Amino acid sequence: MIDWPAIGESLGRGVPLLATVVLGGLGLWFGHWLLSRRRGSRADLHFATQIWSLLGVVLVLVMAIVAAPVESETRGQLLGLVGLALTAILALASTSFVANAMAGLMLRAVGSFRPGDFVRSDGAFGRVTERGLFHTEIQTEDRDLTTVPNLHLVTRPFTVVSASGTIVSADVSLGYDVPRSRVEALLLEAGRAAGLDEPFVQVLALGDFAVSYKVAGFLEETRRLLTKRSDLREQMLDVLHRAGIEIVSPRFMNQRSLEPERRFLPKDLPPARAADSGSVPEDRIFDKAEEAGRLEAHREEHAVIEREIAELEAQLAEQEGSDRYRLQRSIDLRRRRIEALEALLDGSASADPAPSTLD
């Protein structure tokens, strides 16, 4: 004979566990749905989703153990086992994927770089395209994508090119027969012709056969870093050749029998050309990084404008007449800009319209 009361009692004890698992699953799904509606780059959404998944699974597991129809002693042992497992994972973090996750959180908290920035780490140089929980993706000078584990960036030094500008430099070695003052004047001319601000020249070394010079200048638009490095070397070559200065060591003459007046210069010296202000190689080389940096800038602008709208709305209630009309107009302009930014972040707009004045 079937003992229906006993079966009902057993099922009743399992209802809390089943409800906990179902509600936990719904909570995880709802969290993913909310995150998918956030404004931001795909990298940021992916990062937030990974964090939510890790925390959500641990939370649902603990809640399921608490709701399980077991004795209090057994429940305590299960919770202790979960705690021990988490402790072991953290203890072994230096040799497991958890270390990269912790490093990813640390990089986010420190905020050393963001998508679109130039980063150099152990020979890998390029622009950041994605910051994930476990890795950072860099687009190199060859347009390739390099994946760098976050633990690597935390445990080893890396260099970030400042978004506000950087120094572009190049070295050259010239013979002792060329006056230093003349070399400095020509190299300064080359720096200015390359479009660098406040160029300067340094003497790096007095070698056995030549003097090593360094010319450098400030570049504000860092997205053209590769082009400006090349432009500087081109201008150095042209300026020195036009001045009749050969860029070879005197040792070169000791290896070949040449006339003393022989100069190693191009026969035809074309006039100096102005730096090309049109399309630059970086537009194609760092296309993914450029897009990531643009989305990051749009998201930051979106947050700033939202704060401005909140401040203006707080002032609106206290104003009357023309002042109220002016504030309302400023709010409307900012809301239209937010709509344009949201279209860009959602991918429904292909180009960023030039923002009109917000005041």
Q: Which one of 254, 281, 308 terminates a domain?
A: 281
Give the rounded percent of residues in the chain with a pLDDT score beyond 90. 17
171 and 272 share a domain? Answer: yes
**Quick one: 255 and 173 in the same domain?**
yes
Which residues constitute the domain of residue 138? 106-160
CATH (domain of 129) = 2.30.30.60
pTM of the model: 0.57
The fraction of the chain above a pLDDT of 70, given in percent, is 75
Q: Are 245 and 141 members of one domain? A: no
Tell me which residue has tokens 């050969």.
246
Same domain, 204 and 301: no
Given a cut of 70, is residue 250 above it in pLDDT? Answer: no
Give the span between the Cα atoms of 151 and 154, in whole angstroms.
5
3 assigned to some structural domain: no
Assess if residue 101 is contained within a domain: no
pLDDT tens string 112-161? 888 888 898 887 888 888 888 888 888 888 888 888 888 888 888 888 88
Q: For position 234, which CATH number holds?
A: 3.30.70.100
Q: Residue 176's closest CA among 154, 148, 209, 152?
A: 209
Asked if the structure places residue 356 within a domain, the reply is: no
Q: Residue holding tokens 């042992």?
A: 77
Q: Identify whether 175 is part of a domain.
A: yes
Q: What are phi and psi of 309, to 5 degrees?
A: -65, -45
Q: Please state the separation of Cα 346 from the chain's center in Å.
A: 20
**Do residues 171 and 154 share a domain?**
no
pLDDT at 265 over 70: no
Cα–Cα distance for residue pair 255/248, rounded to 1 Å: 12
Tens digits of residue pLDDT in 20-34: 777 777 877 777 777
CA distance 172 to 165: 23
54 and 149 together in one domain? no
Number of domains composing the chain: 4
From 237, 255, 281, give the residue that closes a domain.
281
- The answer on pLDDT for 103 being more than 90 is no
Q: In what order do the strands lie in the sheet with 124-131?
A: 145-149, 135-140, 124-131, 118-121, 159-160
Are 274 and 185 within one domain?
yes
The answer to whether residue 342 sits within a structural domain is yes
- The mean pLDDT of the chain is 78
Alpha carbon distance 359, 356 (integer Å):
9
Q: Could you tell me how many residues make up the chain?
A: 359
Q: Would residue 2 count as lying in a domain?
A: no
Per-residue confidence band for 347, with pLDDT thresholds at 50, 70 and 90: low
